[in-house]
Amino acid sequence: MWVVIPVKRFPNAKSRLGPLLSEAERESLAQAMLHDVLSAVSSARGVSGIVVVSHEVRARYAVERVGGLFLEESGNGLNAAVRQAAGWLATHGRREMFVLPGDVPLVTAREVDDLIQRHSGLPAVTLAPDRERDGTNALLLSPLDVITCIFGRGSFAAHLAAAREVGVEPGVVTLAGLALDIDHPLDLRALLTFEDDSESLAYLMDSGIAERLLPHSSRAQGGGANWPF
């Protein structure tokens, strides 16, 4: 299955982390998170291709390093980028896609493969929600146009409803790594409670951000069991 990763330009990414991080720090974190996502996807056995859609030239370098393809974003916004990628895939004879954001740094190759294995049938819709079950952190579609992608606030419920409107009962898979997307200050603090070898966590530790945000707390052994809030 082909994986589609829409990516904002790094200077524009993660503005809601502004109270905690400088613009340069947000930019570096966005780049590190994309590297983590690409590492997981490129290591997954069930992935046959990767497409990044973006205006960000550093995203081109990142995806091409793992053997993927880059599409220069022709519109604006996440949903437009996904539609562009779907059109490219359809033109090249692909009938399904796996949409994954670039801000889920704890996602693993095993989770990617798990989702692909659970996605079966035609038509089919499979979703992985965020930890609040508000957003959609992974969306698998067969065929490509079985539903319209509606990413954004409340997208998990919107995608469920869209699938049911066309007579497809969606599969829902909750996965620990994939559930944590980094949008808000609480998400960032939650990330810092995990023990993981991700580039994102290494950046947060090496830059001094981790110590600044959690000066009196140590990260929980085993991953996120005891969040300090």
Three-state SS letters, 185-220: HHHHHHHCCCCCCCHHHHHHHHCCHHHHHCCCCCCC
Strand pairing class (124-129; 171-172): parallel
Q: The whole model's pTM is what?
A: 0.91
**Residue 13 identity:** A
Helix (H, G, I), strand (E, B) or coil at 125: strand
Radius of gyration over alpha carbons of the chain, in Å?
17
Extract the residue ranges of the chain whose pLDDT is less than 50: 217-229
Cα separation, 99 vs 76, in Å, equals: 17
Cα separation, 190 vs 224, in Å, equals: 7
User: In the prediction, which pLDDT does 219 show?
Assistant: 46
User: In the prediction, which pLDDT does 216 show?
Assistant: 60
Q: Is the dihedral of CA 191, 194, 199, 204 positive or negative?
A: positive
Cα separation, 35 vs 80, in Å, equals: 23
User: In the prediction, which pLDDT does 225 show?
Assistant: 37
Among 175, 171, 173, 203, smallest CA distance to 188 is for 203
User: In the prediction, which pLDDT does 186 show?
Assistant: 92
> Class for domain 2-172, per CATH?
alpha beta
Distance of CA 7 to the CA centre of its chain: 9
